[in-house]
Amino acid sequence: MIIVKVGGSVFSDKKGKAENFDGETVRRIAKEIVNFYPREGFIIVHGGGSFGHPYAKEYRIRDGLPGDWETAHLKRIGFTLTHQAMLRANARFIEAFVREGLPAFSVSTSSVFITENGEVAYGDLEVVERLLELKFIPVLFGDVSIDLAKGVEILSGDQIITYLAKMLEPNKVIFLMDVDGIYDGKPGEGRLIQNLPKEEILALLERLHCTSAGTDVTGGICNKLREAKKIAEHSEVWFVNGKVPGRLSGAIRGDGFGTRIARE
- Chain residues in the site for ligand IP8 (CB under 6 A): 8, 47-48, 52-53, 56, 82, 86, 142-144, 154, 156-158, 217-218
Q: How far is the CB of 11 from ligand IP8 (least distance, A)?
A: 10
Would the CA dihedral through 146, 149, 151, 157 be positive or negative? negative
Candidate residues 21, 42, 113, 183; the one interacting with ligand ATP per rule CB under 6 A: 183
Angle CA 25–26–27, to nearest 5: 90
| Contact indicator for 184, 190 with CB cutoff of 8 Å | yes
Listed in order, strand segments (DSSP E) in the chain are: 2-6, 42-46, 104-106, 113-116, 119-123, 137-141, 143-147, 151-155, 172-177, 183-184, 191-192, 236-241, 259-261
3-state class (DSSP) for residue 148: coil
Candidate residues 78, 118, 220, 256; the one interacting with ligand ATP per rule CB under 6 A: 220
Pick between residue 7 and residue 78 the one whose CB is nearest to ligand ATP. 7
To 10 degrees, what angle do helices 126-133 and 157-168 make? 70
Q: How far is the CB of 145 from ligand IP8 (least distance, A)?
A: 9
Neighbouring-strand partners of residue 124: none
- 144 makes contact with ligand ATP (CB under 6 A): no
Binding part of the chain for ligand ATP, among 23-31, 33-41, 79-87, 220-228 by CB under 6 A, reads: 220-228
Close Cβ partners of 170 (under 8 Å, ≥ 6 residues apart): 1, 2, 3, 43, 164, 234, 235
Tell me the pairing of strands 172-177 and 2-6: parallel
| Contact indicator for 157, 142 with CB cutoff of 8 Å | yes
- 237 makes contact with ligand ATP (CB under 6 A): no
Pick between residue 72 and residue 192 the one whose CB is nearest to ligand ATP. 192
Pick between residue 154 and residue 248 the one whose CB is nearest to ligand IP8. 154
Pick between residue 10 and residue 252 the one whose CB is nearest to ligand IP8. 10
Q: How far is the CB of 191 from ligand IP8 (least distance, A)?
A: 26
Pick between residue 48 and residue 138 the one whose CB is nearest to ligand ATP. 48
147 binds, among ligand IP8, ligand ATP, none (CB under 5 to 8 A by kind): none
| Binding residues vs ligand ATP (CB under 6 A) | 7-10, 47-49, 157, 177-179, 182-183, 186-187, 208, 216, 218, 220-221, 224
